[in-house]
Structure 1
Amino acid sequence: MGNKNKKRNKSEHDKKDKSNNSNVDPQNVKDTEVETRDKEADNEEYENTEKLHDIEDNSEEDEPPKKKKKKKQAVVGETNEKKGKKSIRQMKKEKHLQRQTEAAAVAKDQLKSQCINYLSQWKHNRDNWKFMKAKQVWLFKNKFSSNLVPDSSWPTLLEYFESAKGNIRNMLLEDAKKVINQMDEWTEKQKDNKDTEDNEDDVNDNETPSNKPDDTSYKRARDLIQCLEE
């Protein structure tokens, strides 16, 4: 009898469980399953991220520390020395200009020597002398300069111009008269200002006005006019 009662009670209990299970909402069961799966996925993702962090931390520890570059400190003395020194390009440019100046001076001296020799040959070796227009033009332009045409060559140049004909003769007289007129104007101006501007005259006694011809030019201009107008 006891066993029969136990079996009966067990069967009734199973029926109650089935009835209870039959009353469970299937939607709730699905929701709980989804939640459990999401939790498992979140846990798995969390574990993966933790592993990545551990790997990154280990890799950072393995890398050697980077050395900081030291900034070069500018030395004031060195910069001033560099500023004082000329660049190679500038030095080459200055040397080039110096060579050009020296070459021009040498060429000028050579031309002067050639023209004076040309004049001397006209005087002393007329048979081998040959007319050259460029040298005559040089003598014409520099006739009043004692630096280019020395005083020793002036009498010969005066004879050379005395034989000149045509337009060059008129040009020589025109240049000579300009020098004479400049000297006359300067002399008259000095006389007019002598009484009224004594103080200025005292100051200007030691100065040479720019419009006053030098004595050599004035003397040569007089000689040239006298020679050509006779």
Structure 2
Amino acid sequence: MKKRKESTWIVEDTEESSQRIDKISSHVVSSEQTEKKRAKRKGENNVVEAGKSSAAEQGSELRKKKQNKRKKAKKIKAVDNSDGNKERCMDYLKRWHEDRQNWKFEKLRQIWLFRNMLDPAKVPDSSFEILVDYISSTQGHARQMIVEKTMKVVKAVELWSKLSEEGVKEEDIAIQIPDGKVPEVMYERARSILQSLDDV
């Protein structure tokens, strides 16, 4: 075996180490480019810039958004289930109808009214006509959601009556319509809401 001089070893080590460093740095650059490409493919607006944002930071942002969403859902649920909420919503509707100067929009009251608009136990007949006027003044996504909800009820009732006229058993109809038979009052309310939205 031949012995090499120490200086040769140092030179070779230096060359090897510089090659390794080049390899590692090219790998780091390529991994950053890969992350950017992934983010772009996913359609994310916040592209990860080299060294500025980490996966942990993005994860914490996602957790915060989820927590805020849960809090909002709990708040809406709490308002939905409270006993005095029905009276407050009816007062809100009455104020809208009689005194619009002092009336103030309240999102949670509107949500409650829209969720319970077809239920005569929650929205009495005496307030329903005012609610129809209120609904006809809505715009945008809220209006679209009301149309979808009422159309679903109307179509379910019409399908139920069509199938029963054809002689299909109620058990078989219930399988085709998972929500079950819709009460006549809800059907009438849904139709009157749809008609008021068509008139506007």
Equivalence map 1:63-102=2 (5 Å): none
- After superposition, the Cα gap between the structure-2 partners of 1:185 and 1:132, relative to the gap in structure 1 and judged at 3 Å, is same
Secondary structure of the residue that 1:109 maps to in structure 2?
A: coil
Provide Cα deviations, 1:93-149, integer angstroms capped at 9, x if missing partner. Answer: xxxxxxxxxxx9xx7321111010000000011111110001000001000000000
Q: What is the match of residue 186 of structure 2? A: 217
Q: What is the match of residue 110 of structure 1? A: 84
Unaligned runs of 5+ in 1: 1-103, 202-208
Deviation >4 Å, runs of 4+: none
Deviation of residue 215 (structure 1)? 1.0
Q: What is the match of residue 142 of structure 2? A: 168
CA distance in structure 2 between the aligned counterparts of 1:189 and 1:210, rounded to whole angstroms: 15
Indicate whether 1:229 and 2:191 are aligned.
no
> 1:226 corresponds to which letter in structure 2?
Q
Indicate whether 1:185 and 2:154 are aligned.
no
CA distance in structure 1 between the aligned counterparts of 2:147 and 2:111, rounded to whole angstroms: 15
Q: What is the count of residue pairs matched by the alignment?
A: 114
Secondary structure of the residue that 1:175 maps to in structure 2?
A: helix
TM norm structure 1: 0.46
Indicate whether 1:152 and 2:126 are aligned.
yes
CA distance in structure 2 between the aligned counterparts of 1:122 and 1:172, rounded to whole angstroms: 19
Deviation of residue 156 (structure 1)? 0.2
Larger Rg: 1
CA distance in structure 1 between the aligned counterparts of 2:185 and 2:165, rounded to whole angstroms: 22
Identity between Structure 1 and Structure 2 (%): 37
Provide Cα deviations, 1:42-72, integer angstroms capped at 9, x if missing partner. Answer: xxxxxxxxxxxxxxxxxxxxxxxxxxxxxxx
- After superposition, the Cα gap between the structure-2 partners of 1:210 and 1:178, relative to the gap in structure 1 and judged at 3 Å, is closer
Q: What is the match of residue 102 of structure 2? A: 128
Deviation of residue 210 (structure 1)? 6.1
Q: What is the match of residue 115 of structure 2? A: 141
